[in-house]
Structure 1
Amino acid sequence: MTQSREVLAMMDAHTTTFGRKRGCTISRCGAFLLGTLFLLSLVITALLVYHFAPCADGALGRQHDASDSGLFAGRGFLGANSVSTKLDVRLPRSVVPVFYRLELTPFIWEGNFTFNGEVKIVVNVTEDTRNITLHAVDMKIDEAATTVQMHPPDNNGTIRNRMEDVGIDKQTNDTLRQFHVIHTAGMLKAGKQYTVYIKYVGYLNDYLQGFYRSSYTVGNQTRWIATTQFQPTDARRAFPCFDEPALKAEFEIHIARPKNMTSISNMNGTVDTTPIVGLPSYEWDRYERSVPMSTYLVAFVVSDFATQRSDDGKVGVWVRSEALDQADYSLKIAPQILKYFENYFAIDFPLPKMDMVALPDFSAGAMENWGLITYRETAMLYQEGVSTNSNKQRVATVVAHELAHQWFGNLVTPSWWTDLWLNEGFASYVEYIGMNAVEPSWKVLEQFVVHELQNVFALDALASSHPISVEVGHPDEISEIFDRISYGKGASIIRMMDHFITTNVFKRGLSNYLRERAYQSAEQNDLWDALTKQAHKDGVLDKSITINEIMDTWTLQTGFPVVTVNRDYNRGSATLTQERFLLQTSTTEVSDDKPLWWIPITYTSQNVLNFNETIPSRWMQAEPTITLSNLNTAANEWVIFNVQETGYYRVNYDEQNWRLIIQELNKASFKSISTINRAQLLDDALNLARAGRLDYATALDVTSYLAHETEYLPWKAAFTAMGYLDRMLVKTEGYDRFRIFALKLLDNIYKQTGFKDIHGDPQLTVFTRIDVLSWACSLGHKDCVQNAVTQFHNWQITPNPDNNNPISPNLKSVVYCTAIRVGGQAEWDFAWERYQKTNVGSEKDLLLHALGCTRETWILSRYLNWAVTENSGIRKQDAGRVFGSVANNVIGQPLAFNYLRNQWKRIKTYFGTSLLTINNIIKSTTKKMNTAYELKALYEFETEHSAELAIARRAVQQTIEQTEANIKWLDRNHETILNWLKRATA
C-alpha cells in the first residue's frame, strides 16, 4: 500500500470513532469545540507526516531539501488533487554513486551461512540534500559504524585520508521500498563528493537470489559454494547499493575466503597473503577496479571448483572437478563467438577476461554478469556420448546469448526495467547469429521461426498479454516481465527490423548506438534514433519515416496483427486488412481502441517463386486496409504473404487462395514453397482455425500433405499446433479418430527416420527423428513402444548401468518416458536410482522429466511432494521441471494442479520470491484445462489466495483466460473436427 492510502485509512478511522454513538448528547458549543479540536489534530498530524514520514528520499517535503520537492512530481504520490494507488520505488537522483569499494567475508565452512560486509561508496551530490537513500534488504547494518565524509576540493574522485566527517542524525528503513535512508546532520552540498561507509552482516540464503549458498557432494562429503544472482533487484541483498540499472559505477571488490578455496569476480584478481586478524584460515583476493557498470552485473563466486582456460588465456571455465571434461565444448565455442561478436558489433570486448561458471544450483539458465557469466550446469556442460544433440545446441544457444549481452545490456544498459526487452530481445535474436557462426550446419537461423516466433505467438494472442515495453516499478513487477514476450517477441520484431532495413544497415546502426552510449544507459528511443540515422543515410528508409514511428507500434501495443488477404481474381488485385489476432474472438478491444501496426508486406506467387526477397514491397502504415493493384499472378495460381515469415504477424486468405495452396502442397512439387513458409502455413492455418477465423476443415486439409513431408521445420510447426488438438481431445470421445489420423500422417516419416540414432546425421534430421518418435510412442505406435521398452530393459540388465548405458543419447528422452509410462514401480525406481547417481546434469534433466511419465498415481503424488521437500534429492532449481513433467501426463495434470492448490503456502514458502519457478508451475499445471469444473477450480484458487498472488497474478490471469478459451473452443469445434477426422480415417 502507498503512504497516501495509509493516510486516508487513518482519517477514516478518526471519523468513525468521532461519529460513533455513546448514548449521550453534545451541545452545539461542545460540538463546535470538539470539531475545532479534531481539525487541529488533523493539521498537527499532517505536519508530523510532512516532517517525519519516511519516503523515497527519507523525508517528504522538507523545506531545506531541494531534492525532495520534485521527487514524486508526475508520479501521483501525494499530489494535491490525486491519490496514488502505486508505490513509487525509484531512488532520488540527489545522490548518485561513482565508485564502490566492497569487502566481503562469507562463512560457508563455519555452517552459519552469514557473511560480513563493508562497503565504501563514493557519491556525487547533484542537489542540496540531507538524505542519502540507497537499497538494502535482508541484512543487519551496524548503524553505529556508518559514516559520511566529504572529500576535499582537490580530491579528483579517489578516496583519501583528508576528509571531513558529516554528522549523521539518524538512519531509517523503508521496508516496502527496500530503502535504507541515512539522514545527515548537515546539508550535503550540490557539486561535492562524499564517501559513505557502511558495515553490516548478511545471509547466504538458499533462495538462489542475492549472495546465496549452493552445494554438491563428493562421496559423502558436502562441498559448499557462495555465489550470486543479482538481476534484476537482488544486489541489495549482498551489499547496500544504488540498485538501479542506470546508476552505474566502478567497483573494486575484495573477497576473504578459506585458503583451500578460490574466488572469482568480474575483473582479474590477485591474492593477498597477509593474515586476516581472527581468521587465520582465510586470505584476501583483491580485484582490479572495474569499468562503470550496473549493480545487477556485479558477481563473485567462492568455491573449490577446477578451472581450465582457452589457449589465449582470455576465456576460462570453472566447474566441479568431477565434471571438468564436460566443459570442453563451452570452452571451445566461447572464444570463437566472443571474437565473432567483436567483429559483428565492431567493438572490442572491453574487459581483460571472460570466466564462465557452471553452478549446481541456479534459478535461471544463465546470467550475463560482465566478465563472469554464471550458468546452470545443463546450460554450460555437455558430455560426449551421454548428452544429446539437443543438449549441445542448448549449450551453444545459452553461451551465445550471454556473450551477446556483454555488449547489449552490459556495455549499454537500459535506463530502467521498462526496456528490459532491449537486453533480452536483442540477445535472444543475436544468439542465433552467433551460434550460426560456429555451427552453420545446424541451420539455426531457420530454426528461429519455430522455436521463437511461432512459440511466442501463443502467449501474445491472449488478451492478458502485455506490451514489450511495459512500465514497471516494484521488484515483483520487474520479475514478472522476464517472460517470452520480452525474450521471444523482442527477438522476433528485431529480426523483422533486420530484414526490412537490411542487415548491413542494421549492423552499422547497432554499432553506432553502442559506441555513442558506451558505459551509459539508454532507452529504446536512443536505439531507434541511431538506426533511423543509418537507414536514412543509406537510403533504405524514406526520410519522412522513422524507425521510432514503425517500431513503437510493435513495442508499445499489446499483441500482434493478422493480415487478411482477399483477392480479386478478375482484376489480379488484393485487399489487405489488419486487426489484432486474439485466440478468443469474443474478447475484442472496445470500439475506440483498435490497435494498428506498421506492417512490412512481402509476398511471392506461383509464377514468381521468390522466397528470398524479404525487403517489403509495400507497408501497411498503421492503416486498417490497403489495396495491392497488381499481384502479377494468374487467377488459378496461389499467392503467399510474409516471405520467410520475417514479419511478426499471421496471414489469412480467402477460401479460394487457401484451396490453391492446399493443391500445391499435395503435389509432388510441394517443396517449391520454401521450408519456412510451409511451416508458416501449417502454424497459421491451425491457429486461425483455433481462433475461429478459418474453418477447421480447411486447416486440417492443410495438414494432410504432411504424409509426404520430410523436413524438420514444417513437422515442428505441425507438432506444436497439433499439440493443442491433442491436449483438448485426449479426454473426449473423438480422441481415437485423432490418434488414427496422426499415426497415418506419421507413417512415412516414421519409416524414414527409424528407431535408430545414426551417428553423423544432420542436426535437423536428429531433431525430426526425436519429435516423430515421441509422438509415435505417445500415440501407442506398436513398433515404437516395443523398441523403447526393449532398449530400457536392456539397460536395466546391463552390468554397471551407471557407466554402461546402451541407449543412444538422442533416443533417451523417448525410451525413458515410454518405458516408465507402460511399466510400473520397478522401472520408476530404476530410473530414480540412475537420477541420483549420474554426474551429468543433462542426464539428470532427462531422467527428471521421464519420471513424471508414469501412470502410477501414487508415485506421481509422491514425486510432487519430493519436489518441494528439502534433501529429497531434487534440487530447488529443478522443482518446476517436476511439476511440468507430471502435468504433461494426462493422468498427472489434475494431481499437479490439486497439489498446487492445496499446498500453495508451502510452495510459496519453499521458493520465496522466485517468480520464474512459481509462474512456470502455475502455467504447466493448468495448460490442459478445458472444462467448466476446472475453470471453477481456477477461480476458487485465485479467490483463496488473492492476497498472496502478487508475484504470480499475471500468470493466474493468463491461465484463466486460456481455460475460458479452451472451453469455448471445445464447444465450438469438437463436432466439426470429429466429423472431419471420421471422413479422413474412414
Structure 2
Amino acid sequence: MGKGFFISKGVGVLLIIVGAASVATIIALSVVYSQEKAKNNEVSPTNEGSTTKPSTTTPTPSNKPWDQYRLPKTLVPEHYNLTLWPRLKPDNTTGLYIFTGESSVEFKCVEETDLILIHSNKLNYTKAPTVVSVSGGVTAPNIKKHWLQTVTQYLVIELEGTLKKDHVYRLSTEFVGELADDLGGFYRSVYTEDGIEKVVATTQMQPTDARKSFPCFDEPALKAVFHITLIHEPGTVALSNGEQKEPSFNLDDKPVIETSFDPTEKMSTYLLAFIVSDYDFVNNTIDTVLIRIFARKSAIAAGQGDYALNKTGPILKFFEEYYNSSYPLPKSDQIALPDFNAGAMENWGLITYRETALLYDPAFSSNGNKERIATIIAHELAHMWFGNLVTLRWWNDLWLNEGFASYVEYLGADQAEPDWNVKDLIVLNDVHRVFAVDALTSSHPLSSKEEDIQKPEQISELFDAISYSKVSECIIFTSITYLNEFKFGNTVYTDLWKHLQDACDNTGQKLPDTVANIMNTWVLQMGFPVVTIDTVTGNVSQKHFLLDPDSKVTVDSPYKYVSKVNYDQSNWDKLLNILSTNHTHIPVINRAQLVDDAFNMARAKIIPTLLALNTTTYLRNEKEFMPWESALDNMNFFYLMFDRSDVYGHIQAYLQKQVTPLFRHFKEITRNWAEDPKGHMDQYNEVNAISLACKTGLQECTDLVKGWFQTWMSNSSNNIIRPNLRSTVYCNAIAAGGAKEWEFAWEQFSKANAIEADKLRSAMACTKEPWLLNRYLEYTLTPSKIRKQDATSTIVYIANNVVGQALAWDFVRAHWTYIFNEYGGGSFSFSNLINGVTKRFSTDFELQQLRQFKEDHSETGFGSGTLAVDQSIERTISNMKWLEENKSIVSKWFEDAAKP
C-alpha cells in the first residue's frame, strides 16, 4: 500500500448516498431478511429514495420486450464504471451481509427505441436511475417510468422520447444487494482460521449471475470494457480481472480502502470477478506475466499453493505455443475459495477454484488430487483463449467453450507432468463418461437451437457431460486464423468450421468430405453410432446406439454418424482368446476400450451380455490400471442392479476371485503396503485393488484397513495411512465399523483442512448404519456442518451406498422444495443430484415413485435438473427391461465363474 492516503471523491459521494438512503436500505433489507428466514431466494425491490416505490411485476405471457428472456437488439454496451462496497460484517439491524454499489454503463443505440432493458436480479435500487447523452448535440429523453420485471430479471426503463440511432448514452444506478451465501453472483464465503471466523466476498457470474452483482447487459455477445473499483476494510486485499492500481484510503472513524483496477479487455459479463479477502499469496513471473496463487494464509504458509504456482507457468507457455498466440493479459491470478459451487471458473485474469482443485499438500493430497489440480488448471488456462478471447455468441454453443477445453486440458497437463501419460485417460474420463448419457433418447445435440435455450435454468442445464466431453471424441485441429479474426469478439460454431476448412485447404490435406459435413454429424444430432464389421464377409453396417434399443427417437437427423466398432462373433472369439492367453498383445488402451465397448453393446442388445462378461475373466492376470478401471466402471452397473438381490453374493465371490491376485501384487511391490508404487497409473490401480478387495469381503483387506484406522484412532495426531490410500481406507474401515468409527471421522472432518475433509466427507457415507446415514443427510441442511457447495454431492455419496440409497431418495423427495429454493434452479449440481439418487431404480414401484415425484413438484420445478428427471425415467425403464431379460443368465454366469 502506498503513502499519502486519501479517500477519493467517488468514495465520498458513495458514502453520502449510502447515509441518505439508510432508511430505505434498512426497509429493503428487512424484506430480504424475512424472505431469507422463509428460505426463499427471491428478493423484492426496495423503495427508491425516500418517496418512490417501484412495482414488481410477475409477467403473464405476452409479446412485450420485458417478458422475453433475450434482450432486444437495440442497445450495445461499450464500457461500465462500477464501484462496489461489500460489507464483511453483518448489518446491525437485519443481521444480513450486504454490498452497496454505483454503476454507470455507456451504450450505443443501434436501433431507435424508447425502452431500456438491462438485466437486474435481487438488487434493490436506493435512487432512481438516470439517463444522459454522451454524444454531442443530443439530449437524452426523460424517464417516464421504471420497474423491476422479476421473472425475466430486468430493470425496465420506459422513456418519454426515443434514443437516437448511433448515439451513445449513459445509464447510472445506485443499489444495494445481499452478500448472501448462495454461491452465485456477488456472494460471501465463510471460514475459520486460528479460531476466528472470516468472510470472503467473491463472485461466480457464469452463466447468468452477473446481474445479481450490478445491472448489466448480461449476455455473452454483449462484450464491453469494465472499470472496476472496490471499497474494502483495511487489512483486506481486493482483486479483480485487471491489475490493481495504487490503492487509496483515509483514517477516519470508519476507515476504508479504495482499490481501482486497470480497465479490462473487451469481455463478456460472465467472466467478471471481484474478490475481497485477507488472503496471502505466492507469486512468480513468466515472460512478463505475473502469476499469483491466493489462498487462506494458513494454506499459503503450509506451501499448499506452490504446486499450482510451479505448474501454471509451463502450462501457460504451452498454450501460447499451441494457439500461436500470446497470453493477452499482464497477470494470471488464481484463488482457492472455501465455498464454490463449480470446480473452477475461468474468469479472465482471476480464475476461481474450490480449495481442493488448486491446493496441494503431499502430507494430505493423493495422486488423484495432484492430477486433478494439473488438469483443472490446464482446463481453465485453455479458456483464456478459447472462451475468453473468442467467446460463444449464445449459450446454445456452450460446447465451443467447454468441449475444447476438456480436450486440451490433457495436453496441458501432459506438458506439466510428462511422466504421467495423462493423455491416455481421456478415454476413461471423457469418452466413456459421455457414452452413458448420449446413449439415451433424452440426450441432446452438442449445439441446440438458439431459440430453445432462453431461461437461466435452461442455460445451466447445458453444463453436462455432452457439452464437456463429447467433443473429445473428435480430432480437433486448432485454427490460428480463427483466434486472430475473432479475438475480443463472438462466434458461432460454423465460424470454426470455415477456418478449419481453410487450414486444411492451405496445407493440402485431403478430407473425405467438407469439415462442416464431417463435424455436423457430431454437433447437430445427439447420440453416437455402433458400426459392425463382419470380418468374414467384409460387410459394414451402422445404427444409432441406444441403451434401450426399443426406445423411440423422436428427433430425426439428416446426418450420418461416424464410427465406433463392433465385430462379428468369430472376431470376438479371437479377441477373447488373445485376452485369456496373452493379453499384452493388445495395447492397454485397446484392452480398456474392448471391455467398455462390449458392456455398452450388451446393454443395447447388440451382443449377448455373457460375451461382455467374458471380457473380464482375464483380469486375474491384468495389472494395468486402464483395463481394470474400465471393467470396474461397467461392473458398477451390475452392483446397482443386483446389490439388493440374491445375485449379489455370486458377484462378490467372482470379483473377489479376480481381484485377489492384484491385491497381492501390490502388497508385494509396495513392500507390504509401506510405499507408493512408482508409476502414476500404478498408484491408481493400487487404490482399485484395495477398494475392490475390501468391497468383496476379502478378510485380509478388511483386517488391513481396520488396523490402519484403529491405529489412527488411538493417536489422532499421527495418521500413518498414506494419502493415496486414505479415501478407500477411510470408507472401508467406516463400513466395517460402527458408531465409534463414524464419530471419530466426524471429529476429524470438523477440524481438517479442505483436502483431508473431502476424503472424510465421502468416507462417512460408507457406514452401514441407517441411523448414522439419516443423521448425515440431515447435516446437509445445515451449512455450518456441511458446506452448501458440498450438500448435493454428500447426498449422492450416501445414495451410492446400498444402505443409504432409499434413505437419500426419501430425503430428497421430502425436502425438494427447500433444496430447490436454497440452491436455486440454476445450480450446476441439480442434475447430478437427481441422477445420483435414482441410478439404482429398476422396479415398477420405483418408476411410479419417480413419475409421482415429477408430478408432485411440477409447480416448484426442477431447474437445471429438468432433463435429468426425464433421463432418470428413461434409464429406469431400460433397467427394468434389462433385468427381466438378464437376471437369471447373469446369476448363473457369476455363480459358475466364481468357482475355483
Alignment TM-score, normalising by the size of structure 1: 0.82
1:405 aligns with 2:383: yes
Q: How does 1:855-894 map to 2 (within 5 A)?
A: 855-871=768-784, 873-894=785-806
Distance in 2 separating the partners of 1:943 and 1:129 = 43
Q: How does 1:799-878 map to 2 (within 5 A)?
A: 801-802=716-717, 804-839=718-753, 841-871=754-784, 873-878=785-790
Name the SS for the 2:539 alignment partner: strand
Q: 2:74 aligns with which of 72, 84, 94?
A: 94
**1:59: how far off?**
11
Q: How does 1:535-614 map to 2 (within 5 A)?
A: 535-542=504-511, 545-567=513-535, 569=536, 573-589=537-553, 593=556, 596-599=559-562
**1:54: how far off?**
9.3
**1:55: how far off?**
12
- 1:876–1:497 CA distance, 2 compared to 1 (3 A): same
1:130 aligns with 2:114: yes
Distance in 1 separating the partners of 2:501 and 2:340 = 39
Residue in 1 aligned with 2:231? 256
Residue in 1 aligned with 2:584? 671
Distance in 1 separating the partners of 2:411 and 2:586 = 24
Residue in 2 aligned with 1:430? 408
Whether contact under 8 Å (1:848, 1:881) holds in the other structure is: no
**1:497: how far off?**
2.2
Distance in 2 separating the partners of 1:862 and 1:60 = 50
Name the SS for the 1:891 alignment partner: coil
Deviation track 1:191-241 (CA, whole Å, cap 9, x = no partner) reads 111111111111111110000011111243210111000000000000000
Deviation track 1:97-120 (CA, whole Å, cap 9, x = no partner) reads 000010111112244311111111
Distance in 2 separating the partners of 1:722 and 1:168 = 65
Residue in 2 aligned with 1:420? 398
Amino acid at match of 1:829: E
1:350 aligns with 2:328: yes
Q: 2:461 aligns with which of 480, 485, 489?
A: 480
Q: Which structure ranks higher in relative contact order (CA pairs < 8 Å, sequence separation ≥ 6)?
A: 2
Distance in 1 separating the partners of 2:828 and 2:481 = 34
Q: 1:148 aligns with which of 125, 131, 141?
A: 131
Q: 1:322 aligns with which of 298, 302, 306?
A: 298
**1:405: how far off?**
0.5
Number of residue pairs the alignment of both structures matches:
828
- 1:54–1:883 CA distance, 2 compared to 1 (3 A): closer
Distance in 2 separating the partners of 1:114 and 1:700 = 58
Deviation track 1:793-849 (CA, whole Å, cap 9, x = no partner) reads 011112xx24x211111111121011110101110010100001112x121110000
Amino acid at match of 1:350: P
Name the SS for the 1:147 alignment partner: strand
- 1:948–1:410 CA distance, 2 compared to 1 (3 A): same
Residue in 1 aligned with 2:639? 726
Amino acid at match of 1:900: V
Deviation track 1:67-125 (CA, whole Å, cap 9, x = no partner) reads x8xx9xxxxxxxxxxxxxxx731111211100001011111224431111111111111
Amino acid at match of 1:927: K
Q: Which runs of 5+ in 1 are unaligned?
A: 1-51, 62-67, 72-86, 155-162, 499-505, 600-648
Whether contact under 8 Å (1:215, 1:361) holds in the other structure is: yes
Distance in 2 separating the partners of 1:944 and 1:328 = 50
Q: 2:702 aligns with which of 781, 785, 788?
A: 785
Distance in 2 separating the partners of 1:315 and 1:59 = 50
**1:757: how far off?**
5.7
Residue in 2 aligned with 1:193? 168
Whether contact under 8 Å (1:468, 1:486) holds in the other structure is: yes
Amino acid at match of 2:699: K
- 1:390–1:470 CA distance, 2 compared to 1 (3 A): same
1:172 aligns with 2:147: yes
Residue in 1 aligned with 2:362? 384
Larger-Rg structure: 1
Distance in 1 separating the partners of 2:884 and 2:420 = 42
Amino acid at match of 1:888: N
Residue in 1 aligned with 2:713? 796
Residue in 1 aligned with 2:273? 299
Q: How does 1:217-228 map to 2 (within 5 A)?
A: 217-228=192-203
Amino acid at match of 2:817: K
Distance in 2 separating the partners of 1:385 and 1:852 = 23
Distance in 1 separating the partners of 2:553 and 2:798 = 36
Residue in 1 aligned with 2:26? none
Deviation track 1:290-322 (CA, whole Å, cap 9, x = no partner) reads 110000001000001111111456100111001
Distance in 2 separating the partners of 1:187 and 1:363 = 42
Distance in 1 separating the partners of 2:441 and 2:728 = 35
Residue in 1 aligned with 2:436? 458
Name the SS for the 2:615 alignment partner: helix
Root-mean-square deviation (CA, aligned residues, Å) is 2.1
Amino acid at match of 1:707: R
Whether contact under 8 Å (2:676, 2:683) holds in the other structure is: no
Name the SS for the 1:267 alignment partner: coil
Name the SS for the 1:666 alignment partner: helix
Residue in 1 aligned with 2:27? none
Name the SS for the 1:749 alignment partner: helix
Q: 1:943 aligns with which of 832, 855, 858?
A: 855
Deviation track 1:726-775 (CA, whole Å, cap 9, x = no partner) reads 22121222222211211222122222122626246111000011012111
Whether contact under 8 Å (1:54, 1:60) holds in the other structure is: no
Q: How does 1:636-715 map to 2 (within 5 A)?
A: 650-668=564-582, 670-715=583-628
**1:940: how far off?**
1.5
- 1:279–1:184 CA distance, 2 compared to 1 (3 A): farther
Distance in 2 separating the partners of 1:733 and 1:168 = 73
1:283 aligns with 2:257: yes
**1:60: how far off?**
6.1
Residue in 2 aligned with 1:983? 896
Residue in 1 aligned with 2:248? 273
- 1:366–1:279 CA distance, 2 compared to 1 (3 A): farther
Whether contact under 8 Å (1:55, 1:174) holds in the other structure is: yes
Whether contact under 8 Å (1:414, 1:422) holds in the other structure is: yes
1:447 aligns with 2:418: no
**1:547: how far off?**
1.2
Distance in 2 separating the partners of 1:107 and 1:745 = 59
Distance in 2 separating the partners of 1:322 and 1:731 = 46
Deviation track 1:620-641 (CA, whole Å, cap 9, x = no partner) reads xxxxxxxxxxxxxxxxxxxxxx
Distance in 2 separating the partners of 1:757 and 1:955 = 44
1:741 aligns with 2:741: no
Amino acid at match of 1:574: G
Amino acid at match of 1:546: T
Distance in 2 separating the partners of 1:60 and 1:559 = 35
Deviation track 1:144-194 (CA, whole Å, cap 9, x = no partner) reads 2x211112349xxxxxxxx84542111133222111122222221101111
Deviation track 1:472-517 (CA, whole Å, cap 9, x = no partner) reads 1100100011011110113x23xx223xxxxxxx13x2x2111110
Deviation track 1:515-558 (CA, whole Å, cap 9, x = no partner) reads 1100000000011110011112222234x832111111111111
Structure 1 residue ranges (4+ consecutive) displaced by more than 4 angstroms after TM superposition: 52-56, 58-61
Q: 2:340 aligns with which of 362, 372, 381?
A: 362
**1:932: how far off?**
1.7
**1:916: how far off?**
2.0
Deviation track 1:338-358 (CA, whole Å, cap 9, x = no partner) reads 111111101001111010010
1:202 aligns with 2:177: yes
Amino acid at match of 2:110: T
Whether contact under 8 Å (1:579, 1:594) holds in the other structure is: no
Distance in 2 separating the partners of 1:819 and 1:711 = 26
Amino acid at match of 2:501: T
Q: Which runs of 5+ in 2 are unaligned?
A: 1-54
Residue in 2 aligned with 1:531? 500
Amino acid at match of 2:636: G
Q: How does 1:76-91 map to 2 (within 5 A)?
A: 88-91=68-71
Deviation track 1:360-412 (CA, whole Å, cap 9, x = no partner) reads 00000000000000001010011112110000011111111100000010000
Name the SS for the 2:466 alignment partner: helix
Distance in 1 separating the partners of 2:606 and 2:825 = 40
Distance in 2 separating the partners of 1:480 and 1:757 = 45
